[in-house]
Structure 1
Amino acid sequence: MSSAQRVNTWEISDSENEAEEDKPSSCVKLKQNTSADESKIEHSSSGRKRRKKRPEEQQDTKRTAKEKLKEEKEKLREEKNKLKEKLKEEKLQDRQRRKDAAVKLNLLKPENLIKSLTVHIHAVLLRDRGCDVLLRTLDGLQWRNRIDNEGLPNSISWTRQALQTEDEEKHEVIEEDQILMVISSDELEDMLRSHKTVNNLLIPIGEVHEGAESLLQHLYNSMNRTEGKVVTILVISHQRRSASWDEDELDFHLNEHHMDTEELLVHLQLYWNITVHFLSSWQEVTNHVVAVTKALSKRPYKALCVDPDLGFCMDGSWSAGVRVDRDGRGLAQVWTRQIQQLNRVSAAVAKTVTSAFPSPSLLLQAYEELPSGEEPRKLLADLTVVGGVNERRVGPELAGRIHRLLTSQNPQLLLD
């Protein structure tokens, strides 16, 4: 028994030893596996650490981001600066335009523009002693004047210095369209004879006879050469002449050729747009020249300041007009104003009529639907006027006037 038991114990011990020996081996294996896993984890963690950026790289990325932000800010600053410069230039240009406009407006004022006008006097007029009155007056007013030998004889014309603007860049001197021709009664007789000779020879209007030259022929030649000129003839005589052309008030020389004079005046007025004024002295001629000079100095300023809009089309109630839009807004107010234009018609009465019939066509249609007689005339009489202390009606008198206004075919008919 003891041997058997010993064997068994050894067997058991051996198995136990083997089991015990096996256990540490398994533990070793586990340790090896864990070490391998730890090595893998260490390898993976070391790989992750390698993927992370280095401090230098991080600094570089930070620098690039800062540089980008800096560049963007600089671009924004440049754009803002450009915008500011552009606005500044626009303001300067606008200011310069306003300044130029103010300077131009100041130059165009009559008191300044008259200084640039020059009165051109033909040398032939100096033969008359009365011309000294004109020269002394121009010198006293400190106006520019010049003696010329060219152009229409016995003429007085005007020129002015051009402003340096877009319209007047090409012209240094602008010739005014007004021309005065100063003649005596004897020279007017010569013109009458020349005109009569031309009529007798049946020469067409505008053509010049080849005979002895006269003032009339010079005048025709000048009108044919230049277009747009307005010529006025001033006849100096020692006695005032009236527009009635009474023979008692005419000079002796004109008394003989009264019909011829009228014929010449009509011819000049119709075919050449030339007017003739009869003056008694050189003082009146001087006054006429001064008046024309002042009118020419005011012309550019008036043309610049004239408003092209019409008064009744302007906005605002002060202009006594009604604005009508394209959609028809405002027509009802126009219809009310039309009724209110009648005598003794208040705004309340006109509003009552237009409220009952919002348009003239509706009122006309109502008139046509009624039988002829007194009924159409009394259609509006019973309308109650809204407003005021006491209630009242439109009345038959006003109803009849409105009926005549819309139905009458006589433009000369008195409504009241």
Structure 2
Amino acid sequence: MDEFDSMLEMADAPLHQRVARKFGSGNETNTDSFTEITGRVSITPPPPYEPSDSEESTSERVKNILSSIDNVLDPKKKSMKTNQIGKRKNESSNINTENKAAKKRGGATSGKSAKPSKEYKEAEKIFTKQTDKHEVNKYMLVCIDPQVVSSPPGSEILNFLTNPPTSKPEEVFQYRVENQNVPSTLTWKRKVLYLNDIGGMPQFQERWIDEQRTLLFASADELAAKILDDTFQTWAQSIKSLYGEHHQLTLVVYNYNSYLKADKNAQERAKKAAVRGESVNIRRNGNRVSDYLFQEALLSLSIDSVMDYRTFDKDTSKGWKDCAGMVFHHTRAVAEAPEKLKKNISNSAGFEFYAKADVKDSISPKNLLEYWKQVLMQVTTMSLERANAIVMRYPSPSLLIEAYRNCSSHKEAELLLANIEIRRVDTIVGGTRRLGDEISRKIYCAFTTSDPLSLLNK
């Protein structure tokens, strides 16, 4: 076999046999061994090609090419197609907005409160302004009897109401001169707004109410005549019964010192006339009321809770400004009373610890114990150590009230807490002491009495 024959054989042989023959016996590979190796390894052929759903077929591609050519040749078809696409998008957006609105309505009906409208917010602002310090003067009306206007301090009173000393616009009050139920009186009226919902829209309704306070003007000469006739008490009682027991009356006495000064001057003239040996007009002196009798008559009205009183005189430099200023400050106090009363109810006596129902603090056991201690500390002479001792024995008000109900007698209930031991923390030695009978009685009275006029201190 020559070289050419071997080349022919190698040409028909596989590549690995040709390589083995060329590079020697060390690298030769047997055909049987190769078939044995390849028989052990299973070679899986790749699957046949199948076009996916996303891929376009040949016919579809042809259609797309033809449609693009038509669009280029006729642009009207393209605009019609874009209009149809826009209409479809608008319809889908409308459907989405309707679905969102339905979800919102469903959420509102499922327990979430809808937000108030702009009209309601504006109405609430107007509603809260009627007690605001800077707006309350617009809702007040001062009613003055004509006899008050014609009295000596009348003109100065009207001037102070329209031109306040501070010149602030929020302190200018309206007034009206009209006949009152009792002559020579000054009263106040307040316009109250009520916010109602009529047809889904906020509507205001207003009503004028009379304030439970009245100023009664009288000169010292008029009152002196009633004192001499012994009709002063009956006159004051009749006015009190006309207004009612809870109505606050203030008697404004003008020319008081002038009357007493005239009485002193008459006494001095009588003494001088006696020294000179002249006759004295005893009848005139007998019709005067002394300072002692005047003060006694006025104080008796205050002690009997009929009315309190204020006395005024014309000053040489200020005139009747003191009396007019008193009326002005009374008007401001009456106007701002609702707002101050609301603040006192919420903040006075340490009740700023009020637990709101919509916060977590109101249900926390730790915070409830602290609230209970602060309630106990509203009792006079109650310290934190005493409150802690009571809370350790009775952790809640219901347990304390239940213990009071289980007592066999009133005396036993009053002394229920008397023997509770309190740890001393104010001394170095320490130790314990009793709560005491008096504190125990006060707590029992505060939690069980039904009389609002009862006093804790006896």
Normalised-by-shorter TM-score class: 0.3 to 0.5
Instruction: State TM-score, norm by structure 2.
Output: 0.44
Instruction: State TM-score, norm by structure 1.
Output: 0.47
